[in-house]
Amino acid sequence: MSATTDHLSPRAVPFRVPTARVALKPLNTSSECVELDGAWWPRSRDLSHELPALADVLDPLWGRVTRIAVNPRYWPVIPPRIFVNGHVVKVGWFTAELDPHKILLLSYTAGRWDLLVVPPETSAPSAARLMAAASASTGPQSTASDLMTAEQADTSSSYEAAAGQLGRLAAGM
């Protein structure tokens, strides 16, 4: 006995890696030097996986990214090179010269960009505040470490305030 079905056989659908979470300042046409050009919130600490997605987003906006530098403090493995859109991007590291909360991207055609790196484990509200602060075109310029320190202070003071309020509620019961 044979059976006939109208169901189509399943087909493989290519998996597309989610695009990078990036916030950028508007293009700066003046010659003033800015500390940060925006922020990047990677999903993990795996640079081999995260950097291609970042460069893939930035290539059409800024020009071909040719080199990337990070501080190794928060990155367990730094690949010597990554492949993006058919070209090689060299990856390097600096300890004393580069803020540990920043990534440096270089392009032969368009120059240099510095992005705040929001740690992957950061909560969504904190990440949103950090990305907004790093990509704001107005206000005082802050370093990547200054922004991270300020956010940690805000988060801990909010936690302490909430714990104090919870303690007062519990004492009143």
DSSP 81-101: EEEETTEEEEEEE-SSSS-TT
Residue 123 pLDDT: 94
Classified as helix, coil or strand, 6 is coil
| Segment (H or E) for 104 | strand 102-107
Residue 13 pLDDT: 46
- Token readout for 60 is 């059409």
Residue 16 pLDDT: 53
- The string of pLDDT tens digits covering residues 117-167 is 999 999 999 999 999 999 987 766 778 888 888 888 866 555 455 445 545
The pTM (predicted TM-score) of the whole model is: 0.75
Q: Are 98 and 69 in contact (CB under 8 A)?
A: yes
